Amino acid sequence: MSVSPDRDLQAPSAEAGASKSPRHVALIMDGNGRWAAARGLPRTEGHRQGLVALRKVIRHAAKIGVDVITIYSFSSENWSRPETEVSFLMGLLRRFVQRDLSELHEANIRIRVIGGRQDLEPGILKLLQEAEDLTRDNSGLDLVVAFNYGSRAEITRAARKLAEQVAAGVIRPEDITDSALAAALDTGGLPDPDLIIRTSGEMRLSNFLLWQAAYSEFYFCDLLWPDFDEAAFDAALDCFCARERRYGGLSAKTY
């Protein structure tokens, strides 16, 4: 079942015992460059193979019933990479939309893009909007694409939006609650990620979903992203399901 845009944003309740399968999985797809370097290939080939891995994971997640997948496709800091690499990544994005959009649409997958849009090149912005528009009414897996995304900037945008509403007399300062801020984020209407997976052995969030990750479970693996496949995804989910989530409360086994 897909997530309704106006769903209840209340935090989930703690339950004793092992966790249920995650409803929302977020992916930090790290290691494309290192994968290519280890094989004596250009970094661009690592990104190309990373896209192949992403296709597999999206199809698999939809098949096994995950509701939401959020991918960290391009951060707001990635613009500082070499111009040739950025240009290749933009071309890869174009090819992904042009080649995969119809297949994703046929699979009933809904695409949502989060991140700053103000300074994007018009052609890229048009592609992103077309992907959202075409799949808007789909009711299967929500594929959330974090593009030109940085969590601090996202939180700043949300705070500014609420401040403007206060200045305009639309809301009062006391109306600014956790739920109000969450709703003003780029991810407003989506559940927080239950599980965040990062590949390549790195153990940090890198400015990704900082607010939303307050009670997420983390799974770090040494696999480089192009080597991450359906079995690796299932292993992450198995690890998640063996954990106990308490959301600041106590375990039922605690006396």
Catalytically active residues, by annotation: 30, 78
Place of tokens 């109306």: 175
> How far, in Å, are 128, 154, 155, 158, 161 from residue 174 at the CA level?
36, 21, 18, 16, 15
Contact 112, 185 (CB under 8 A): no
212, 188 contact by CB (below 8 A): no
DSSP designation for 207: S
DSSP labels for 111-163? Answer: EEEES--TTS-HHHHHHHHHHHHHHTT--S-EEEEEEEE-HHHHHHHHHHHHH
Q: Would you give the DSSP letter of residue 222?
A: S
> Alpha carbon of 47 to those of 28, 64, 93: distances in Å?
13, 26, 11
Query: In this structure, what DSSP letter does residue 24 have?
Result: E
Closest residue by Cα to residue 69 from 203, 245, 248, 236:
236
Tokens matching residue 99: 């080649």
